[in-house]
Amino acid sequence: MMALLLIAVVLIGASGAPGLLFERRSTFGQWLTTCLAVAGGSLGLAATALGLRPGEAPEIRAPWAIPGGEFHVALDGISAVFLLPIFLVSLLGSVYGLGYWKQAEHPDNGRQLRLFYGLLTAGMALLVIARNAILFLAAWEVMALAAFFLVATEDQEEAVRAAAWLYLAAAHAATLCLFALFALLRSATGSYALSVIGDGVLAPGIATAVFILAVVGFGLKAGIMPLHIWLPSSHANAPSHVSALLSGVIIKMGIYGLVRICSLLPAPPVWWGGLLLALGVISGVLGVAFAVGQHDLKRLLAYHSIENIGIIVMGLGLAMVGRSLGRVDWVVLGLGGALLHVWNHALFKSLLFLSAGSVIHAVHTREIDQLGGLAKAMPRTSLCFLIGAVAICGLPPLNGFVSELLIYLGLFRTLGIGGEVSWAGGAFAVPALALIGTLAVACFVKVYGAVFLGMARSEHVRDAHESGLTMIAPMAVLAFFCFLLGLAPALAAPMLDRAIGAWAGPSILSGMSLSALAPLGWISAAGVLLVAFLLCGAILLRGLLRGRVAEPTGTWDCGYAAPSPRMQYTASSFAQMLVGLFSWALWARTHAPRAQGFFPGPTHFHSEVPDTVLDRGVHPAAHWLAWLASWSRLVQQGSIQVYLVYIFVVLVVLLFWR
Amino acid sequence: MASTVIHLVLVALLPLLLLGVIGKTKALFAGRVGSPLLQPYHDLIKLLRKGSVFSTTTTWVFRAGPVVGLAATALATLLLPCGSRSAPIAFTGDLILFAYLLGLARFFTALAALDTGSSFEGMGAAREVTFACLAEPALFFGLLVTAKLSGHLSLSTMLVGPLPHGSQLGMAALVLVLVSWLIVLLAENARIPFDDPNTHLELTMIHEVMVLDHSGPALGMILYGAALKLFVFAALVVRLALPATDNVWAGWGMFTAGLLVVAVLVGVVESVMARLPLVHIPRLLVAACVLSALGLTLVVS
């Protein structure tokens, strides 16, 4: 099976290469590339599924000339959980790209985009099956660089270049941490193999250092607040199917790294899990709070990625605490919820980014307050976006609800329910998760209402049109999976159980399983019941309205005779109260002119929520560092004579030394 | 089986009566005769028989709002233990489903409001979702307290009243949660001091302004959905305050009486208090959160 998987990886990785041989505007190249990517993706999905059959332990080892390196790849439960979204989202994204980034419309960068799209997917797939640190780092770097070129696709624009450079800097800061991490592990264990480290091999200080490096290095990639600085701008400025891959899958590689390293380290102290839980709560609450304040559709979705990463990290933190305190049920529910949320987020966030891309493709702007009323012109896109929005808010009967329920159940159990041991820290995360849920509802009501409902706010929307089949079909597939996992979560349980077993060790698990601890059957039943209730209600309303619907008229605007689209509540007004409540973190900038005199001239109101960490932390610090570095110019004059003098002085000093 | 039937009958009939009781209480305080107790039923029947006008701006989302609001809240009522010991649907974790069903109802009600394109309805929707963000943690802190005291994770086994947890700390925590949930009840149902259901100034309203453009059967569904939501929160409070009993009929009787008492209480609050200024509402909700958080610290320490 492993060979099949590697073939799939190579196929996807090379999928963009043949396209380079064709004409810039040739459509044949893009079809060939997409066919290769789809074939590779399907093969990868099949190989992953087959590799998980009982009794299989797929592994390939081959010598590699690089010092310390070994070509060692293996497929276990954790790898498989991450492989599925990689292959699925990339496959659907390449199909979407056929309509969204037509070669004929983008002759300059279409081929480049397809090349790096494939390379990125291959890099990630190799990353999650690598069992050698050198191979892991190589795959990590392929992923990081390919993603850089993808973010920089439209590099003729200033904002895109800035986003790409910021991404590159963050990605390499992460890699730097990983170098230190693996060097530490190498010096302690004597090998670069990624295998379980026994008790007592690592000194406590070293273990803590490894954990902190993992949190910073992988946290930078995952976008844990406050390490998220690169995430909003690069998600906003990349082409939408790249954003879907960035948000749906790439940031999950940070989660994968964290999950993998945590599984290798022996017996964690309680504060490790506590730290992760606290970071998860911060990312979750502040991520969604920043999202509420955004005016850019894709930037808003990017902040929601930070929120969802927060939810995933909360689950992981709970599992770590459970491991420390010997509560297996916390491990199962926490990690099970986190991994299921990895899938769910990959599904609904890709769906949202693809739908947002469909909107942007039609109206050529990302400004939420310029849009409105798109549900009429783009019914399918708007339905897909709505499904994604309900799912990301964690509302039943869709998939987001299930993973949040698992994490909730685990957190409630930290009160001491279902076992003797209790841990007070977990209880206080529950209301935070509830707050995240309601804030997400507020944010998606805002964005769906402002973009798809009401009346068109600008000229951009007038000639909007529905997207073609190549763009709608991938979205429909993702929406289908959102329903499937929401209505039948038991389908996912065996695979998640395997991953949890691989993480905690089957012996520790002692027969506990997700389906035994979580009411998966009841969730299905309640979901089906809810759908039935909704259908009954719809039929009832339809029946009551039959023959009694009066001639449609304009909206009743409380007696005002001539309402216009400009009088609608905007997204910024909608968010104003919430932005005010979170002003201690958001530091919104508002430009509110005061009308003065008897005949004030025309003016406008403007507000924005910049990223607090980037704008108030990193940028000033970078300026300060640059200023500090400018002092070195005193010696670095840049003229050759001065350097010759330096050499002469050093020689003379050495001559008279001793 | 019998208890399920009684449960369904109660859910179908009682919610609108609560609205009638509130109205009658307010009339008594004001020295008026007031509309009959059963007036909300007449209103509902009248609305269901009327025609509807839809704005040209709206889409199918506008019609989905009342349907989802009613269906999700109705499903939530099936998760609540009313008079009997157990709800028709009870499983470990149903409390999360309960809270998120109400969230689903809120999501679509607010979307339907935005679908009209009216700025008034946009304001109402914005307030609804904003205040919900502050009310939800209070609800969950309270659920944590009851989960800790009962050692269970299902509403039917969590909300068993004060008697089984004889300890003084537990009782104190329950009292704090009770006060907090009463505030949440008033906020979630848009009653005074959060919102005045009788006001006619659209600029200051929350719930009523969201449904300005609905008419006929859809408005009827909204009316019934809102009554159900009041029922749901009143039932939560009643089950928290009243001890559970093994006598089935006494259970139903006490529960119904408790609901009516809550309705009277809401009526009294509406009669003796004024609406808060909009900017002060978050403070009261944060106070509710802090009260129930205090309850939680009492029981986990």
Q: Where are the domains of chain A?
A: 268-540
Closest CA to A179 of A189, A167, A187, A169: A187
Which residues from B are below 8 Å from A442, CB to CB?
Answer: 129-130, 132-133
Mean pLDDT, all residues of chain A: 91
Assembly ipTM = 0.96
Determine which of A395, A582, A584 to mutate to test the interface with B (most B C-beta atoms within 10 Å).
A395
Model confidence, pTM: 0.94
Closest chain A residue to B134 measured between Cα atoms?
A: A435
Q: Assign B94 to helix, strand or coil.
A: helix
Partners of A565 on chain B (C-beta within 8 Å) are 117
Which range is most confident: A191-200, A538-547, A603-612? A538-547
Q: How confident is the model at residue B200 (pLDDT cuts 50, 70, 90)?
A: low
Chain A with chain B: Cβ pairs closer than 8 A: 252
- B290 and chain A: CB distance < 8 Å anywhere? no
Q: CB distance from B165 to chain A under 8 Å? A: no
Find how far residue A222's CA is from the centre of its chain: 7
Q: Which residue of A has its CA nearest to B96?
A: A405
Nearest-by-Cβ selection for B107 from A424, A441, A581: A441
Does residue B70 belong to the interface with chain A, where contact is any CB pair within 8 Å? yes
What's at A526, amino acid-wise? Answer: A
Tell me what pLDDT residue A645 has.
92
| Contact residues, chain B, for A292 at CB < 8 Å | none
Residues of chain A positioned with their CB less than 8 A from the CB of B143: 430
Q: Where does A393-492 have alpha helices with state H?
A: 399-413, 424-427, 429-452, 459-462, 469-487
Q: Tell me whether residues B126 and A553 touch, CB distance under 8 A.
A: no
The secondary structure of chain A in percent helix, strand, coil, rounded to multiples of 5, reads 70, 5, 25
Q: How far is B103 from chain A (nearest CA, A)?
A: 7
CA–CA separation, A320 and A325 (whole Å): 9
Q: Residue B174's pLDDT is what?
A: 92
CA–CA separation, A580 vs A584, rounded Å? 8
Confidence of residue A414 (pLDDT cuts 50, 70, 90): very high
* Residue B36 pLDDT class (50, 70, 90 cuts): very high
Can you say whether residue A454 is alpha, beta or left, with left for phi > 0 and alpha for psi between -120 and 50 degrees?
Answer: left
With a cut of 80, say whether residue A630 has pLDDT above it.
yes
Cβ atoms of B233 and B135 within 8 Å: the answer is no
pLDDT at residue B202 tops 70: no
Q: Would an 8 Å CB–CB cutoff place B294 in contact with chain A?
A: no
What's the number of CA atoms in the CB half-sphere (13 Å) around residue B242? 26
Residue A646 has pLDDT above 80, yes or no: yes
Q: What is the pLDDT of residues A432-450, one digit of tens each?
A: 999 999 999 999 999 999 9
**Of all residues in chain A, what percent carry a pLDDT higher than 70?**
99
pLDDT at B164 over 80: no
Q: Which of A302, A506, A486 is nearest to A400 (CA)?
A: A486
Which residue in the set A417, A435, A563 is minimally distant from B147, CB to CB? A417
Instruction: Write down the pLDDT at residue A380.
Output: 94
Cβ pair A376:B110 closer than 8 A: no
Distance CA A256, CA A81 (A): 9
Neighbours of A104 (CB within 10 A): 11
Chain B residue closest in CA terms to A579? B130
pLDDT at A355 exceeding the cut of 70 = yes
Say whether residue B129 is in contact with chain A using an 8 A CB cutoff: yes
Which tokens is A646 given?
A: 């330096």
- B205 versus B146: the higher-pLDDT residue is B146
CA distances from B117 to A565, B110, B241 (A): 7, 12, 43
Q: Which residues of B touch A412 (CB under 8 A)?
A: 144, 147, 153
Q: Helix-strand-coil percent breakdown of chain B, rounded to 5?
A: 70, 0, 25
Instruction: Report CB contact under 8 Å: A569, B123.
Output: yes
Radius of gyration of chain B (CA): 19
CB contact under 8 A, A519 and B137: no
Tokens of B29: 């305080």
CB contact under 8 A, B122 and A445: no
pLDDT at B165: 66
- Measure B246 CA to nearest chain A CA, in Å: 25
* Local structure of residue A248 (DSSP, 8 states): I
Residues of B in contact with A401 (CB under 8 A): 97, 100
By C-alpha distance, the chain A residue nearest B216 is A545
Contact B103 A395 (CB under 8 A): yes
- The answer to whether A230 and A172 are in contact (CB under 8 A) is no
pLDDT of residue A504: 86
Contact A453 B103 (CB under 8 A): no
Q: Are A640 and A625 in contact (CB under 8 A)?
A: no
Residue A326 has what pLDDT? Answer: 86
What distance in Å separates residue B223's CA from the closest CA in chain A?
Answer: 14
CB contact at 8 A, A248 and A350: yes
> Does the pLDDT at position A144 exceed 70?
yes
Q: Contacts of residue A430 in chain B, CB cutoff 8 Å? A: 140, 143-144
